[in-house]
A and B are shown apart, each in its own frame.
Chain A
Amino acid sequence: MIEIIAALLMLIASIGLVRMPDLYLRTSATSKSSTLGIALIMLGAILFFRDREVTLLAVSVFFFIMLTAPIAAHLVGRIAYHRGVPLWEGSVVDEWKEKK
């Protein structure tokens, strides 16, 4: 059952990637959901194999993705703001623009 829940989280991430109106909302939707999805898939692999090496590899994959997915999303979002990718018209605050 863990694998089906993880696959549904991946499906939520890709649907959010298509349906969200803005680049910044897309990064917010996908980085969180896919991180939880990969964590549940690796938990399923640990419970399936019950082996020392697979446990080590799966825990290392989970920690690496949990560390780097927000960094990658923040990096791409910051550079896209500097390149002038527009915000959604329903956005309520833009602190970087008010500061200038």
Chain B
Amino acid sequence: MNIVEVILTVSMVIIAASIAITFIRVVRGPSLADRVISLDILTIIAAGMTAVIAMLAGSKTIVDISVLLALLSFLSTVAFAYYMEKERGND
């Protein structure tokens, strides 16, 4: 186990802890917009985690999933914002 694997494993643990902390805000967010923002950040963190997984596995094709998650993050946030603007007022 060389130094690169140690660094990647430590960063993997820290990213997993930050995903667990983000779920606290998803569960107890007071309004709908808090949950939308936390899911957006959760998708971006998952994209970074996928890149770390690609480096741990040594496989270049897993980086494609990171691109896919980065694209889906913006699309889902815009879709939720459109839905929130449609039914405005009963929060």
Contact = CB atoms under 8 A, between A and B. Distances in A.
Interface of A: 1, 3-4, 6-8, 10-11, 13-15, 17-18, 23, 26-27, 30, 34, 37-38, 41-42, 44-45, 48-49, 51, 53-54, 57-58, 60-61, 64-65, 68-69, 71-73, 75-77, 79-80, 82-85
Given A34-B44, A41-B51, A3 B8 contact: yes
A49 B4 CA distance: 12
B84 A79 contact: yes
Contacts of B55: 3, 44-45, 48-49
Interface of B: 4, 7-8, 10-12, 14-15, 17-19, 21-22, 24-25, 31, 33-34, 36-38, 40-41, 44-45, 47-48, 51-52, 54-55, 60, 63-64, 66-67, 70-71, 73-74, 77-78, 80-81, 84-85, 88-89, 91
Contact of A18 (B24, B63, B71, B91): B24
- Mostly helix, strand, loop or mixed at chain B's interface? helix
Contact of B31 (A15, A61, A72, A80): A80
A14 B44 contact: no
Given A23-B31, A30-B37, A68 B74 contact: yes
A57 B69 CA distance: 12
